Structure 1
Amino acid sequence: MTPLAIAEHAPLFIVLNPASGRGEADNARRSIESACAQAGREHHIYQVDRHRRLQPCVQEAVERAKAVQGVVVAAGGDGTINAVAQATLGSGCAFGVLPQGTFNYFSRTHGIPTDTDEAMRVLLNEQPRAVQVGQVNDRVFLVNASLGLYAQLLEDREAYKAQFGRRRWVALWSALLTALRGHRPWYLHLSWHGVQRDIRTKTLFVANNALQLHQVGLPEADAPEQGQLAAIALKPLSTLSMLGLLVSGARGRLGEADSVVSFPFESMTVRPMRGHRRVKVATDGEIGWCAMPLEFRVSPEPLWLVRPAVAPELEATRQ
C-alpha cells in the first residue's frame, strides 16, 4: 500500500458541528484559528447550524479539498466524524479529527487527544496513516454498527441527552434503562468464511474499534488491528442476567460470559429468518434504515487519517 503524503502547508477544510459532544464550539473554533495562525496554515471552517446543515458542509469541504490536495477535518462527535469520513473515503484526501464528542473512541484509539489544542498539534505536524474502515451495505462505520437492542439503546440515549444534556452519566443511565426493558429477540441467519449459523439474539453488534473491545474484555479485541471486524451477539437473557452482563462489560470481562457469542470476520452476510425487509441500523451512534440482507465487510480501501505513529491509550490496554 502506497502511503498518502500531504504537503507541509496543505490547507485544512474543517467541518465544525457545535451540536456534538459538550457543545464547546466557540472554544474549539478559537483554538483552531489560533493554532492555524501560529503555524501559518490556510484553513476554512464550515460551521454547522440551522442555516447550514451537516451534509452540505461536508460535501463542500471535500470538493474544495480535492481541488487543492487539502485535508478534510471533522470537528465533532462520532456522528459528525462518521459523516465526514463517509464523504472523504476514496476521495484521495487526507482526513483529520478534532474530537468533540462524549466517548471519542475513534480518536482515542488512534492517539488523537481529546483536547482541541493538543489535537491541533497532531493535525499540523503528523502525516496520514492508513486506518481500517467498516461498511454495512453502503454505510461506513469507524467504531461500530449494530441492530436490535444496542441500536435501540443509542436511539434512546439521544432522547435522554436532548432532555438532560450530553454527559457521560446520562449516556450510562439511559443504557441501563433501555437494557432493563423487555425486547423481542431477532432470528438471524449469518454466513461468513464458509460458516453458516442461525442465531436468536436481542442484538448483533459489529465492532471496528480495538480500544472499545479491549475495555469490555473480548478475545477478538485486536481484530480491527489485524484487518478484521468483530461480531458480538447476545443470547436472549432475563432482566437479572442482563444486569450481570452489563457489570461484566464494565469490569472488562464480557468475553467470559456464556451468553455472548463472538467471532472475527472480514465479510459477513446477515439475513432475517422472519420478515424484516428493512431494519434500523446504528453506525457510530447514528440510526438509519438499511435493506436486508445486511452485508458487513472491511472496506477495500483505508481512510488516510492524520495521526501519531503510536496510540498510548490503546497500547496501555495490551500491557
Structure 2
Amino acid sequence: MSVASVVVLINASAGLRAGVNLDPDALASAFADVGVKAAVDVVDPRRIPSTVGILWAGVDRPDAVIVAGGDGTVSYAAAAVVGTDVVLGVLPIGMFNHFAQQLGMPLDVGAAVRALASADVVAVDVGEVNGRTFVNQTVLGTDPKLLQVMDRIQTGQGWGRIRSAFAGSVRVMAQVPTSRVDLQAPGGVSRRGLRTPLVLVGNGSHRRGISDVTALESLTDGALDLTVARSTSRWALVRAGWRAARSGSDALPETDTIAVPELTVTARSRTVRVGIDGEAEVLRSPLQFRVRRQALHVLVPSDLTAGA
C-alpha cells in the first residue's frame, strides 16, 4: 500500500521519550520528503477520539490518521475507532511504546515516518475490560508507576539507569497494595483467593515479561496473556527484575503466564484500581476481559506483511 495523505495528531500532554524533539513543521516536511501529504496538529488527549472521528467522516478524509505518542495515546484513539474502518498509524514518541513495537514500528522518528509511508493495513486484536479498550496491557491493583519501574529495570542500559530505576522502585513499592482476587477463565482456569502484588492481562503475547516485544502474529491470535506473580512479596518482584537486569535478561522472573480467550477477575472490594495502557483508572468489580478479534485497522511496515 502507498499512503498519500495523513493527518498526524500529536498528544499535547505526552511524555516524550529521551532524545525526541518533535516540531510539527519538521514532521510535516519529513512526510513530504517521502511523498506523503501530512497535516500535523497538536491536540489535547481528551480531544483525540472525537478528532479522529471527525477527520474520518470528512469529505477530504486522509488515507490514515497517525497518532503520535505512547501506548496511552494510542489507547485513547483506539477506543474511539475500534470496530470501524478507520485506519490508525502509530508514531512512537512516548515514554512507553510497546504496542508500536509489536506492530514492528521503529522508534527512530525518521525511520518511523518512512515505514508509515509504505505501510500496509492490518486488522489486529484489541483487549477489552468492562467495555474499556486496551491495546497493550491492563494491570490490576496497582498504580501504573509500578509497571514503569519494572519496565525501566528490564530495559535499562548500563548500571546508571538500572540504579535509577531500582531507587525509584523503593519509593513506589511502599504505596503498592497486595491484592486478593478470584480468577476464572475457560479451560479449567480457576483460582480463588489468590494473593498477589501483580496481575497483568496483555493484548497479545507478554510471555517474556512486562516489556515483551513479540511478533505481529500475537496480535491476531485471539488470545489474552494472563500473567500472575508467584510470590506475594512486592519486593520479590523488584529483586527479580534487578537480577534479570544484571544478567542481561529481558524476561520477568517469578511470574506465570497463560493464554486465555477471556477472563473474569473478582476482587474483594467493590472497585479496583487498574492501569490501562499506562493510565490509572478505577473500575467496578468483577472485571470482565475479552478479545475483540481483528477489530482495529492499523498501519504495519510492509516488510512485516510481505508474503503474508
TM-score range, shorter chain: 0.7 to 0.9
When the two chains are superposed, the root-mean-square deviation of aligned CA atoms in Å is 3.4
* Match among 215, 221, 241 for residue 246 of structure 1: 241
- Show the counterpart of 2:54: 63
Q: Structure 2: how far apart are the matches of 1:62 and 1:309?
A: 26
Please list, as runs of the form range in 1=range in 2, the aligned pairs for 1:1-319 lying within 5 A after superposition: 8-9=3-4, 11-18=5-12, 19-22=14-17, 27-48=22-43, 53-67=44-58, 68-70=60-62, 71-149=64-142, 151=144, 153-154=146-147, 172-173=165-166, 176-178=169-171, 180-181=173-174, 183-193=176-186, 195=188, 196-198=190-192, 199-210=194-205, 213-214=207-208, 224=219, 226-238=221-233, 241-247=236-242, 249-250=244-245, 251-254=249-252, 257=254, 260-272=255-267, 274=268, 276-310=269-303
Q: Structure 2: how far apart are the matches of 1:134 and 1:287?
A: 16
Hey, which bits of structure 1, 4+ residues long, moved more than 4 A? Answer: 23-26, 154-157, 167-171, 215-218, 220-225, 309-312
TM-superposition CA deviations, 1:200-227 (whole Å, max 9, x none): 21221112254x5335699x99855532
Please list every run of 5 or more consecutive structure 2 residues that lacks an aligned counterpart in the other structure: 151-159
Q: Structure 2: how far apart are the matches of 1:288 and 1:184?
A: 15
Q: 1:97 to 1:202 in 2, by over 3 A?
A: same
Q: 1:30 to 1:22 in 2, by over 3 A?
A: farther
Q: Structure 2: how far apart are the matches of 1:141 and 1:112?
A: 18
Q: Count the aligned residue pairs.
A: 286
Q: Structure 2: how far apart are the matches of 1:285 and 1:14?
A: 22
Instruction: Kindly state the Cα deviation for residue 301 of structure 1 after the two structures are TM-superposed.
Output: 3.8
Structure 1 or 2: more strand by fraction: 2
SS at match of 1:27: coil
Q: Structure 1: how far apart are the matches of 2:173 and 2:272?
A: 22
* Percent identity for Structure 1 against Structure 2: 26
SS at match of 2:274: strand
Q: 1:183 to 1:55 in 2, by over 3 A?
A: closer
Is the Cα–Cα contact under 8 Å of residues 136 and 294 in structure 1 kept in the other structure? Answer: yes
Structure 1 or 2: more helix by fraction: 1
Instruction: Kindly state the Cα deviation for residue 151 of structure 1 after the two structures are TM-superposed.
Output: 3.6
Q: Structure 1: how far apart are the matches of 2:123 and 2:293?
A: 12
Instruction: Kindly state the Cα deviation for residue 112 of structure 1 after the two structures are TM-superposed.
Output: 0.8
Q: 1:26 to 1:238 in 2, by over 3 A?
A: closer
